[in-house]
Amino acid sequence: MGSPAFQGFPAKSSFTPLPNPFFSELVPQIDSLGEMKLVLHIFWKLYRKRGKLKFVTLAELLGDRALVEGFGEADSPAEAIKSAIESAVNRGVLLRVALDKGEKPEELYFVNNEANRAVIGDIQKGRLSVGRLSHPEPYVSEEKPNIFALYEENIGLLTPMISEELKEAEKDYPSEWIEDAFREAVSLNRRSWRYIARILERWASEGRDSGKAGGHPKKKRDPERYVRGKYGHLVER
């Protein structure tokens, strides 16, 4: 039984721009559905990020549920994604930089355009240290993505245990705190729910902006909220 029919685009859908040469030059060339899926997904993912320097990592792609599900018919979705990446690199759609991080090097992928070619050139000539490149900030849309979307876009695949923890956190913390905690963790390249949860716990116990435990500058909240909640043991009375 196949997937249910697409129900159509919502009235307030966001859009992802693509350069015209993608349609005039690349579409006629790309003969692999996997490569086409990958390239379109990367354009979408990069457009949703902030900052001038935009790239995706191999780990980020392999941990993206939507992308992995798109390769679900393959015996090994991870290997199929890697193969699609190699095709896109060989075709010249993507530029690759390998960061030397000891036992586990990190691979960064840039769209092949003039600005990114200059960045790669500076790296190769030693004018720019790849170790100083920071990960782009995640894009937070006007629709305010929920905690599950933030997790999938910035960390990886959801598990049942993580899903339960996210549900609890969504009840216990303001949405602004959750978005800011994700943003802080990503900026420090600490992409794990455990690290984000610690940020939220610290803000709840020590206060944030207002200087009061559990305080929030924009919303008036029940002072017993965190005492009754899952993290109540962290709040001093």
| Residues in CB range of 112: below 8 A, 6 or more apart | 92, 93, 94, 95
pTM confidence score: 0.57
Share of residues in the chain with pLDDT > 70 (%): 76
Which 8-state DSSP code applies to residue 107? Answer: E
pLDDT in tens, 158-216: 788 888 899 899 889 988 899 899 989 988 989 999 999 999 999 998 887 644 434 44
Residue closest to 70 by CA, chosen among 18, 34, 26? 34
Which 8-state DSSP code applies to residue 23? Answer: I
Q: Give the pLDDT of residue 227.
A: 46
> What is the three-class DSSP state of 160?
helix
Q: What angle do CA 33, 38, 43 make, to 5 degrees?
A: 130
Share of residues in the chain with pLDDT > 90 (%): 37
Question: Residue 17 pLDDT > 70, yes or no?
Answer: yes
Q: Give the pLDDT of residue 91.
A: 97
What is the token pair recorded at 70?
């798109």
Second CATH level (architecture) for the domain 147-234: Orthogonal Bundle (1.10)
**Cα first-last separation, the chain:** 56
Q: Give the pLDDT of residue 136.
A: 54
Q: DSSP string of 51-81?
A: SSS--EEHHHHHT-HHHHHHTTTSS-HHHHH
Which 8-state DSSP code applies to residue 22? Answer: I
Radius of gyration of the chain (CA): 21
Q: Can you give the residue ranges of every domain in the chain? A: 20-132, 147-234
Mean pLDDT within 74-86: 95
Please write down the long-range contacts of 222-227, taking CB distance under 8 Å and 24 or more positions apart: 225/172, 226/172
Second CATH level (architecture) for the domain 20-132: Orthogonal Bundle (1.10)
Tell me whether the CATH fold assigned to 20-132 matches the one assigned to 147-234. yes
Distance between CA atoms of residues 152 and 41, nearest Å: 14
Query: What's the burial of 135, exposed, middle or buried (CB within 10 Å: 0-12/13-18/19+)?
Result: buried
Contact indicator for 106, 124 with CB cutoff of 8 Å: no
| Residues in CB range of 131: below 8 A, 6 or more apart | 99
Q: Is the model more confident about 48 or about 177?
A: 177
